[in-house]
Amino acid sequence: MPEEGRAISSDTLSPDAATQGALPDRLARAITLGGPIPLSQFMAAANAHYYATRDPLGATGDFVTAPEISQMFGELIGLALADSWDRAGRPDAAYVELGPGRGTLAADALRAMAKAQAMPPAHFVETSPVLRAAQAARLPGATWHDDLATLPDDVALLVVANEFFDALPIAQLVKGGDGWHERLVACQDTLFLPIAGKRVPDEIIPPSLADAPAGAIIETAPAAVTLIRALARRLVAQGGVAIIVDYGYEGPAIGDTLQAVRGHAAANPFDAPGEQDLTAHVDFATLKAAAEAEGATTWGPVDQGDLLLALGIDARAASLARRAPDRGDELAAARQRLVAPDQMGRLFKAVAIAAPGWPVPAGFA
């Protein structure tokens, strides 16, 4: 039984001989000693190392996220949380963020929430020491957690996760001539490559996908499901709401969405483990079903563009531009990047999860 909400263990590679040296060497030795490893173990080890050793965000890093594009993103998400909290009767609450990156979203959200009289203490679920330090520089008063288990259990939770679930390890099943196989990662010399492992029982394949052609791939995200269930249990027991933003689809579906990004360009996901960001599209339907199985209410997915428009991004952009007319063009460009369907507006989507009795969050009606 995994620990509550435990997503990635950085010591997934248990053989002693595999714990020394650089990550690619350790993975290669682990595979030589123990045989090919599940894709989820490869992805977990790669991302744990990747995030533990750098701040990947921004123009000089590997990728840019919505809160790093404009303060408007965090402000509007914060206002939506404050509005839910207000309509729920203003219970004692904590602000919780999963994978807060540089702390930018949290700083913007908490500043906007304070204007709406919501001043919850900040709790961050973050495993990377480098990013914890960046978060502490923005929000020195926050409390940090390795997973959900240590979050406060006696107050409502106002939860945000932006581009967090896409970083959690996925498993893949690949259809062979004789049925479905778990996808494993093998190592030839220093090259990592996916191979088909043991056959899995047909019963675990969603009936709608059973007839897929040879070569088809199905993804599952056991770590994300475990975490969502733990989060939903907390919301149901303590009250609260979570807004989760990511890119994804409503599964189950056929498709290989594992991707690597390095220096703002796509890379081979099996190259240089630990040196590039590995992500997979989030299956919103499965996450919603997991939350509902714990008794929580869910809404969405709604397109990020529609959500931000409903939350008033245009009014916010206009008010910021009035105060800083020289920033008008920059604000218009940021608004466009966050909202336009051909930019982030449609690719990124949001789902909300809440305790029964909590109101429909703004923008999800």
Q: Which is nearer to ligand SAH, 261 or 360 (CB)?
A: 261
CB of 189 to ligand SAH, least distance (A): 29
Q: Which is nearer to ligand SAH, 162 or 297 (CB)?
A: 162
CB of 144 to ligand SAH, least distance (A): 10
Give the Cα separation of 339 and 54 in Å (integer): 29
362 CB neighbour count, 10 Å cutoff: 20
Per-residue tokens: 345: 């507006």
Biggest distance spanned by C-alpha atoms of the chain: 65
Q: Which residues contact 296 (CB under 8 A, 6 or more apart)?
A: 232, 235, 236, 353, 354, 355, 356
CB of 163 to ligand SAH, least distance (A): 4
Pairing of strands 240-249, 156-162: parallel
Contact residues: ligand SAH, CB under 6 A: 7-8, 47, 51, 57, 65, 67-68, 99-101, 105, 125-128, 131, 162-164, 167
CB of 223 to ligand SAH, least distance (A): 7
Q: Residue 139: helix, strand or coil by DSSP? A: coil
Q: Which is nearer to ligand SAH, 3 or 92 (CB)?
A: 3
Q: Where are the alpha helices (DSSP H) in the chain?
A: 23-34, 39-52, 66-69, 71-87, 104-115, 129-138, 222-238, 284-293, 304-310, 313-323, 328-339
Q: Which is nearer to ligand SAH, 134 or 205 (CB)?
A: 134
CB of 125 to ligand SAH, least distance (A): 5
Q: Which is nearer to ligand SAH, 27 or 174 (CB)?
A: 27
CB of 137 to ligand SAH, least distance (A): 14
Q: Where are the alpha helices (DSSP H) in 222-283?
A: 222-238
229 CB neighbour count, 10 Å cutoff: 18
Q: List, as one string, the DSSP characters of 290-328.
A: HHHHTT-EEEEEEEHHHHHHHTTHHHHHHHHHHH-GGGH
Sheet holding 265-267, edge to edge: 265-267, 259-262, 277-279
Q: Which is nearer to ligand SAH, 65 or 257 (CB)?
A: 65
CB of 330 to ligand SAH, least distance (A): 19
Find out whether 41 and 186 touch, Cβ atoms under 8 Å.
no
Q: Which is nearer to ligand SAH, 162 or 286 (CB)?
A: 162
Point out the residue whose Cβ comes nearest to ligand SAH: 99
CB of 57 to ligand SAH, least distance (A): 6
Q: Which is nearer to ligand SAH, 75 or 163 (CB)?
A: 163
